Every structure is written in structure tokens, then in C-alpha cells.
Amino acid sequence: MAVSFWNNLLQITKNRVLQQRGVSLYNYTHSYEEHVIKKKLKQFAGGSINLSKDGSGIGVLTLNNPRLMNAFTGTMMLELQEKVTELENWKEGKGLIIHGAENTFCSGSDLNIVKAVSLQDGVNMCVFIQNTLTRLMRLPLISVALVQGKAVGGGAELTTACDFRLMTPGSEIRFVHKLMGLVPGWGGATRLVQLIGSRNALKLLSGALKVDPERAVRLGLAEEILPSSDETGSLEEACTWLNQYTEGPADVIQAIKKVVIAGRELHLEAALREEKDIFGTVWGGPANVQALAQRAKHK
Ligand SMILES: CC[C@@H](C(=O)O)C(=O)SCCNC(=O)CCNC(=O)[C@H](O)C(C)(C)COP(=O)(O)OP(=O)(O)OC[C@H]1O[C@@H](n2cnc3c(N)ncnc32)[C@H](O)[C@@H]1OP(=O)(O)O
């Protein structure tokens, strides 16, 4: 009896956490105060995160610091959080492509920060970006990491926060953490295990292996190898690939992503309840009414 009470409470809490946007796993009891680390991150300026949103509900997020292979400066970490908040509130949004400027994806944290910050600040920075990537992963949009060039360290971790990875010929994903005397902290190890299983994840992390597109597809880490390797061509191809999943009204696409998140993150009973609630948001909605009126057949 007592056990089932606590299990239920745990499920309800998990459910709430899933539903509340922007809620952190960590708080002051973990010595984590967001405003403190935000102040610190402001000191490491450079680069930018750009977001463009088109009329068809596809957003393109560009990591823009090509001088450092699109490494994340402190201000880029702050901007990423702002863009994720904007995307969480994008009612017309259906899909998102994340890519790097000038034909390479991202080389992780700017090593100038890694060298300069204390252990406590390093851990708080890790919490800050882990929270942002968890919110990115839970966006009600279908997300794709378009990997051109190199996705290294934190850049490799970022790819795992997207629903899908598309790679261009000659690109690579590499978890170099071991070579830095580190382990992933942006949530990348947890997500990698979920994506490719613990044995494969262990190999990639402990070998700091270069994962080329063919290997990534074999492992189930990437969906496809795009034909183009240039920036404009591959972005167009990624958009075309994504369009096959984002056709339809935004509320329905967002509801689909939400039921999948619930199925992935919650225990069975909570996931089923969540699925029922999400179902209730589309039943009798405009797309449903229209389909019924058209007596749609799905041959
Ligand atoms: C692992 C933990 C994780 C975290 O928790 O924070 C991190 O992400 S730590 C950072 C992990 N990343 C790295 O260690 C990358 C180190 N860089 C490289 O391995 C290579 O630069 C590259 C990314 C494989 C690209 O190689 P290449 O194509 O040959 O280009 P260059 O080496 O000439 O790079 C151009 C220029 O960019 C600088 N650079 C690249 N990455 C970073 C970075 N993460 N931080 C700072 N600067 C970076 C590189 O040093 C070159 O500058 P110059 O030497 O001045 O030309």
C-alpha cells in the first residue's frame, strides 16, 4: 500500500516535470542557482545562435562561431536557452533543423571557458546546458541535427538532443570526452545509451571513436547520409527530408511529438494517461472535423 502510494506520487511528479516547460532538475539544494551561472557565462562572449522561422512551420537554428569551429561561448549558451524558450512558445512550429555555420557542426564548449572556470562553475555550466538540451529534446517540434563537418565533444552531445541526425558525406560525430579526461555532462551519455544501447555507447565513449556517416547509420545513430556536402544543398535536402514528417496542421504534429515524449519518458500508466490527455486536445479539432467532413479514405 505504502509502496504504491509513493510510486504514484513519483509518477505524478514526473508527469508534472515533463509538462512544465523550463523546469530544472536541479535547484539551490544542489548548489545550483541559474542567475549566478548566467552572470558568469556573460563574461565569455562571442559568436551567436541564430533562429529563422519560415511560414511552413520549420525553424532553422544556426550555431554561428565558425572561427572556433562553432564552439559554444558563454553568450551562445545563453542565446541557445533564449531560442529554446522562443521555440517552446511557437504555436505554428512543426519542425526544427539545427546546423552549424560554414560547413561544420560544433566543436563543443569553447576551450577558453573550459580552461578558465572553477570546478563549481564548470558543474553549474554543465547543469545550465543540460537543462537547455533537455528542453530542446522535449520541444513539441520534430528536430533534426544536420551534421556537416565535425560534431565534437559537446557538439556530439547536442546532436543527441534532436529527434533525428542527418549526416553529409565526410562528416563525423565524435565523443572526445575521454581524451579530455572528462565524460559527457550535457546529457549526451544518457541520450546516447537510449539511442544506440549501452554496449555501443560504451564503445563510442571509451574509444573516443570517430563515427563516420556509414557507421552512424549502421548504429542507428543517424537516419541517412545526404547527397550534398555543401551548406546550402544539404540544408535544402534536410528540409525536404523533414517535410515528409511535418506535413499537416501544427497542433496535430505537436500532439504527435508530445505522445512520443510521454511514451519515451514516462512509466506505462502515466504515459497512457498523458496520451489520453493529448488525444483530448485534437479530438474534434479543426483537422479532425475537416477529415471527417471529407470522408477521408487512406488507400
Ligand atoms: C568534452 C567536454 C565538453 C564540455 O563538457 O564542455 C566539451 O565540449 S570540451 C571541448 C571539446 N572539443 C574539443 O576539444 C575540440 C578541440 N578541437 C579540435 O579537436 C579540432 O579543432 C577540431 C574541432 C577537430 C577541428 O579540427 P580542424 O578542422 O583541423 O580545425 P582547426 O583545429 O584548425 O580549428 C580551427 C580553429 O578553431 C579552434 N577550435 C576548435 N574547436 C575549439 C574549441 N572547442 N574551443 C576553442 N577553440 C576551438 C582551433 O583551436 C583552431 O584555432 P587556431 O588554432 O587558433 O587556428
Q: Is 183 in the pocket of ligand 1 (CB under 6 A)?
A: no
Query: pLDDT-derived band of residue 244, with 50, 70 and 90 as boundaries?
Result: very high
Ligand 1 centroid distance, CA of 279 (Å):
45
Q: Is 110 in the pocket of ligand 1 (CB under 6 A)?
A: yes
Query: pLDDT-derived band of residue 23, with 50, 70 and 90 as boundaries?
Result: low
| Per-residue pLDDT, 26 | 81
Residues forming beta bridges with residue 225, ordered by sequence position: 167
> Which pTM does this prediction carry?
0.93
Poorest-pLDDT segment among 22-26, 60-64, 248-252: 22-26
Q: Is 77 in the pocket of ligand 1 (CB under 6 A)?
A: no
DSSP reduced 3-state for 155: helix
Give whole-number Cα distances, 54 to 58, 94, 96, 226, in Å.
Answer: 6, 10, 10, 22
Query: pLDDT-derived band of residue 9, with 50, 70 and 90 as boundaries?
Result: low
Query: pLDDT-derived band of residue 5, with 50, 70 and 90 as boundaries?
Result: low
Instruction: Give the Cα separation of 177 and 171 in Å (integer).
Output: 18
| Per-residue pLDDT, 21 | 59
Ligand 1 centroid distance, CA of 69 (Å):
6
Residues forming beta bridges with residue 60, ordered by sequence position: 52, 97
Q: Is 107 in the pocket of ligand 1 (CB under 6 A)?
A: yes
Poorest-pLDDT segment among 29-43, 138-152, 212-226, 249-263: 29-43
Give whole-number Cα distances, 286 to 90, 269, 293, in Å.
Answer: 19, 29, 10
Average pLDDT value for residue range 275-290: 97
* Atom 27, ligand 1: residue with shortest CA distance: 69
Q: Is 153 in the pocket of ligand 1 (CB under 6 A)?
A: yes
Quick one: which of 255, 274, 115 has its CA closest to 180?
A: 115
Quick one: which of 231, 213, 230, 233 has its CA closest to 222?
A: 213
Q: Is 154 in the pocket of ligand 1 (CB under 6 A)?
A: yes
Secondary structure element (H or E) that encloses residue 145, with its range: strand 142-147
pLDDT of 12 over the 60 cut = no
pLDDT digits (tens, 9 = 90+) for 167-226: 999 999 999 999 999 999 999 999 999 999 999 999 999 999 999 999 999 999 999 999
pLDDT of 281 over the 70 cut = yes
* Atom 42, ligand 1: residue with shortest CA distance: 68
* Atom 37, ligand 1: residue with shortest CA distance: 68
Q: Is 68 in the pocket of ligand 1 (CB under 6 A)?
A: yes
Give whole-number Cα distances, 4 to 1, 95, 110, 150, 203, in Å.
Answer: 5, 39, 47, 48, 38
Average pLDDT value for residue range 94-98: 98
Q: Is 157 in the pocket of ligand 1 (CB under 6 A)?
A: no
Average pLDDT value for residue range 107-116: 96
* Atom 38, ligand 1: residue with shortest CA distance: 68
pLDDT digits (tens, 9 = 90+) for 60-83: 999 999 999 999 999 999 999 999
pLDDT of 2 over the 90 cut = no
Instruction: Give the Cα separation of 234 and 146 in Å (integer).
Output: 8
Query: pLDDT-derived band of residue 48, with 50, 70 and 90 as boundaries?
Result: very high
pLDDT of 7 over the 80 cut = no
| Per-residue pLDDT, 296 | 78
Query: Which of 111, 129, 204 for mutating ligand 1's site (highest number of atoms within 8 Å of CB)?
Result: 111
At 183, phi and psi to the nearest 5? -125, 165
CA dihedral for 80, 77, 136, 198, sign (positive or negative): positive
Q: Is 100 in the pocket of ligand 1 (CB under 6 A)?
A: no
Closest ligand 1 atom to the C-alpha of 177? 1
Query: pLDDT-derived band of residue 299, with 50, 70 and 90 as boundaries?
Result: confident
Q: Which residues contact 285 (CB under 8 A, 6 or more apart)?
A: 251, 252
Secondary structure element (H or E) that encloses residue 203, with its range: helix 198-206
Give whole-number Cα distances, 42 to 66, 72, 133, in Å.
Answer: 19, 12, 19
Query: pLDDT-derived band of residue 91, with 50, 70 and 90 as boundaries?
Result: very high
Q: Is 59 in the pocket of ligand 1 (CB under 6 A)?
A: no
Q: Is 108 in the pocket of ligand 1 (CB under 6 A)?
A: yes
Q: Is 152 in the pocket of ligand 1 (CB under 6 A)?
A: yes
Cell numbers placing 218 = 549502421
Q: How much is the mean pLDDT over the chain?
A: 93
CA dihedral for 83, 85, 91, 93, sign (positive or negative): positive
In single-letter form, the type of residue at position 273 comes to: R
Query: Which of 121, 126, 152, 180 for mutating ligand 1's site (highest number of atoms within 8 Å of CB)?
Result: 152
